[in-house]
Amino acid sequence: MSKSTVAATAADPTVAAGSAQFLSPVVLGLQALTVNGKQAHWHVRGANFIGVHEFLDTLVEHAGGWADEAAERIVALGLPIDARIEKVAEKVPATGAPAGFAPSDDVIAGIVSDIDAVIADLDAAIEGLDEIDLTSQDVAIGIKAGLEKDRWFLVAHISA
């Protein structure tokens, strides 16, 4: 068999489409979190500055990695993913990240709001993928576990 006759993927088209339907919003939300987290990183101020500033870089790295993982799952199933900045902006038109300098409490509240939006998409993906593709569901579960941990690290800066 020649290379030209080998299919790019062995995935069932229905599985691929269903997985993409649930993972695409996750990719876009994580891409937005990557951009918004960096924006917040540059502008955070206040008593918790160094801890929040440094952890936001960690969050940005994680969010970008998770976006890549979810996007690569879609592509591995044989479908494209459009996560260009205009698509991200359509999905996430408003953000909790301040546009300029802000106290760490405000920055954290804004970024946690962004995280919660991604977690809601992950919850929908986990539920929806249960009957479609357990491997894609596993990707979503892993991302959710990591994102919830990062959320906890941020909230710990402002919790009593």
CATH superfamily of 12-155: Ferritin, core subunit, four-helix bundle (1.20.1260.10)
What is the rounded distance in angstroms from the CA atom of residue 52 to the CA atom of residue 85? 25
Structural Rg of the chain based on CA atoms: 17
H helix runs in the chain, sequence order = 13-43, 49-76, 85-91, 104-129, 134-155
Condensed to tens digits (0 to 9), the pLDDT of residues 106-133 reads 999 999 999 999 999 999 999 999 999 9
Q: How confident is the model at residue 76 (pLDDT cuts 50, 70, 90)?
A: very high
Tokens of 74: 């879609």
Condensed to tens digits (0 to 9), the pLDDT of residues 17-56 reads 999 999 999 999 999 999 999 999 999 999 889 999 999 9
